[in-house]
Amino acid sequence: MRKVILIMAIAALAIPLAAYAVVPVTHTALPLYQAYPGVSTVGPSIFQGPNRGFSGYLPYIANPQLISSTPGIFEIIPGLKYANFVGAAQAGVPYTIKTVSLVKQTPVLDEGADVFPSITVIQLGTPNIRLWWPLEYEVPGTTWTFTITYGTTSLYQDAGPGNPPSYVHTEVWSWFVDANLASMEDELELFHEIADGTNEVPLVSDEVLYPALQAKLHAISTDIAMGTQAGLLAAGNTLVDFENEISDDIIFVSPVSPIPTGGDTGIIEDGDNPAAAKLLVDAEYVGKAAGIWFQVKR
Per-residue pLDDT tens for 211-233? 999 999 999 999 999 989 999 99
pLDDT band for position 254 (50/70/90)? confident
Least confident piece of the model among 4-8, 40-44, 114-118, 143-147: 4-8
Q: How many helices (H) and strands (E) would you count in the chain? A: 6, 16
What is the rounded distance in angstroms from the CA atom of residue 23 to the CA atom of residue 26? 9
Sorted by where each begins, the domain ranges of the chain are 16-34+72-177, 181-290
pLDDT band for position 185 (50/70/90)? very high
Q: Is 37 exposed, middle or buried (0-12, 13-18, 19+ CB in 10 A)?
A: middle
Give the number of other Cβ atoms within 10 Å of residue 31's Cβ.
12
Supply the pLDDT for residue 64: 64
Supply the pLDDT for residue 183: 94
Supply the pLDDT for residue 110: 82
pLDDT at residue 285 tops 60: yes
What is the rounded distance in angstroms from the CA atom of residue 191 to the CA atom of residue 189? 5
SS3 labels along 152-215: EEEEECCCCCCCCCEEEEEEEEEEEECCCHHHHHHHHHHHHHCEEHHHCEECECCCCHHHHHHH
pLDDT at residue 114 tops 70: yes
pLDDT at residue 16 tops 70: no
**With contact defined as beta carbons under 8 Å apart, do 249 and 243 qualify?**
no
pLDDT at residue 47 tops 90: no
Nearest-10 crossing angle of helices 181-193, 275-290: 170
Percentage of the chain modeled with pLDDT above 70: 84
Residues 73-103 pLDDT 10s = 999 999 999 999 999 999 999 999 999 999 9
User: From residue 271, how far is each of 113, 115, 253 by CA, in Å?
Assistant: 14, 8, 11
Read off the pLDDT of each residue in 99-109 and give the average, rounded to a whole number. Answer: 95
93 compared with 42, residue with greater pLDDT: 93
**With contact defined as beta carbons under 8 Å apart, do 101 and 122 qualify?**
yes
pLDDT band for position 4 (50/70/90)? very low
Provide the mean pLDDT of the chain. 85
pLDDT band for position 164 (50/70/90)? confident
Q: How many CA atoms lie within 13 A of 62 on its CB side?
A: 5
Alpha helices per DSSP H over 18-93: 87-90
* pTM of structure: 0.84
Supply the pLDDT for residue 45: 47
Supply the pLDDT for residue 218: 96
